[in-house]
């Protein structure tokens, strides 16, 4: 168990930051005061440094600034006791692919010449399948992130927290998400590849794996108790939500999974 008062640094992308979950404590990053890092820190009495940032890739953790934010690993110090890492989905354009495909099927109807042009532009950017090398590249990058985190914080316990599942066995094409019977399984295959990359990196480094993907399959979009949002065209400023991202219940669930790992 991590001692109360210890330093905790949270790294990652939007699935760690929590865009759309009130209160938003850092608008440029879409960072919520109720994301899993804040919930874990409050439960254990930890000193939290949360540098999660929506849109982050593994490069933004390793060596590439994002907007005005330095590479996230720079937040780590020798006295850091706990590090959580949720990143890699944007390397694959996982959620972006899901969003573009849903937008295409919802709005860009090719009934007119203009509609066909819009549909073709979006379709050209939507690729539901990735080569195995793409997933291996994410696994390799996650491995490097863990190794460099340990270089900066040798005494820290490092947890790889993978992505909540967006689709599961109960998610219905066309009814729960605006994807057809061919597109939806392809998105699920991308999710499996991303989860596999986390598992490979955990095995390669000995980092703890928090398998939120597996734990959330029965809480995907279309279930009675979803841990992620569905699709909408309405922005949060107009009463909508951030599509295909963790909701408040999902963040609480991930925090619970992390606490379970830390307590065992």
pLDDT in tens, 182-193: 788 888 999 999
- Cβ contacts of residue 240 below 8 Å, gap of 6+? 232, 233, 234
234 pLDDT tier (thresholds 50, 70, 90):
confident
Averaged pLDDT for residues 131-148? 97
- Asked if residue 24 has pLDDT above 80, the reply is yes
Of 39, 61, 59, which is closest to residue 51 (Cα–Cα)?
61
Query: How far apart are the C-alpha atoms of 73 and 79, rounded to whole Å?
Result: 14
Is the pLDDT confidence value at 235 over 90?
no
Q: H or E segment at 25?
A: strand 24-26
Residue-wise burial string across 148-187, b where 16 or more C-beta atoms lie within 10 A, e elsewhere: bbbebbeebbbbbbbbbbbbbeebebeebbbbeeebbebb
Per-residue pLDDT at 129? 74
Whether residue 79 is predicted with pLDDT greater than 90 in this model: the reply is yes
Q: pLDDT band for position 131 (50/70/90)?
A: confident
The angle formed by the CA atoms of residues 205, 251 and 82, to the nearest 5 degrees, is 35
* Mean pLDDT, rounded, for 117-143: 75
Task: Give the residue, 205 or 101, on which the prediction is more confident.
Answer: 205
Q: What is the pLDDT of residue 116?
A: 54
The pLDDT of residue 74 is 98
Average pLDDT of the residues of the chain: 91
Q: At what angle do helices 183-205 and 94-106 cross, to 10 degrees?
A: 170
Rounded mean pLDDT, 82-95: 96
Grouping H, G, I as helix, E, B as strand and the rest as coil, residue 5 is: coil
Residues 177 and 143: their CA atoms lie apart, in Å, by: 33
pLDDT at 41 over 60: yes
State pTM to two decimals. Answer: 0.91
Q: What's the average model confidence in pLDDT over 29-36?
A: 98
pLDDT band at 113 (very low <50, low <70, confident <90, very high): very low
What is the model's pLDDT at position 202? 98
Helix (H) or strand (E) holding 150: helix 132-152
Picking from 201, 218, 208, the residue whose alpha carbon sits closest to that of residue 253 is 218
Q: Residue 111 pLDDT more than 70?
A: no
Per DSSP, the three-state class of 256 is helix
Mean pLDDT for 85-109 is 85
State the pLDDT at residue 145.
98
For the four alpha carbons of 171, 189, 161 and 50, in that order, the dihedral sign comes to negative
pLDDT band at 124 (very low <50, low <70, confident <90, very high): very low
Confidence check: pLDDT of 143 > 90:
yes
Higher pLDDT, 228 or 120: 228
> By percentage, how much of the chain surpasses pLDDT 90?
75
């Amino acid at each position: 168990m991590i001692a109360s008062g210890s330093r905790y640094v949270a790294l990652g992308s939007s699935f760690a930051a929590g865009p759309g979950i009130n209160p938003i404590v850092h608008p440029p990053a879409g960072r919520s005061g109720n994301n899993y890092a804040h919930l874990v820190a409050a439960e254990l009495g930890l000193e939290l440094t949360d540098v999660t940032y929506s849109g982050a890739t593994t490069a933004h953790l390793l060596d590439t600034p994002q907007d005005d934010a330095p590479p996230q690993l720079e937040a780590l110090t020798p006295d850091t006791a706990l590090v959580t890492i949720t990143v890699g989905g944007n390397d694959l354009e996982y959620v972006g692919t899901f969003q573009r495909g849903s937008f295409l099927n919802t709005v860009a109807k090719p009934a007119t010449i203009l509609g066909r042009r819009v549909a073709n532009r979006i379709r050209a950017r939507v690729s539901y399948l990735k080569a195995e090398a793409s997933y291996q590249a994410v696994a390799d990058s996650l491995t490097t992130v863990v190794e460099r985190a340990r270089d900066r914080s040798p005494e820290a316990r490092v947890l790889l927290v993978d992505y909540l599942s967006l689709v599961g066995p109960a998610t219905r094409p066309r009814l729960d998400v605006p994807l057809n019977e061919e597109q939806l399984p392809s998105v699920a295959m991308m999710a499996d590849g991303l989860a596999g990359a986390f598992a490979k990196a955990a095995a390669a480094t000995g980092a703890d794996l928090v398998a939120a993907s597996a734990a959330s399959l029965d809480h995907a979009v279309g279930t009675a108790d979803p841990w992620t949002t569905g699709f909408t065209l309405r922005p949060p400023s107009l009463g909508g939500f951030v599509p295909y991202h963790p909701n408040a219940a999902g963040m609480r669930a991930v925090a619970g999974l992390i606490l379970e790992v830390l307590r065992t």
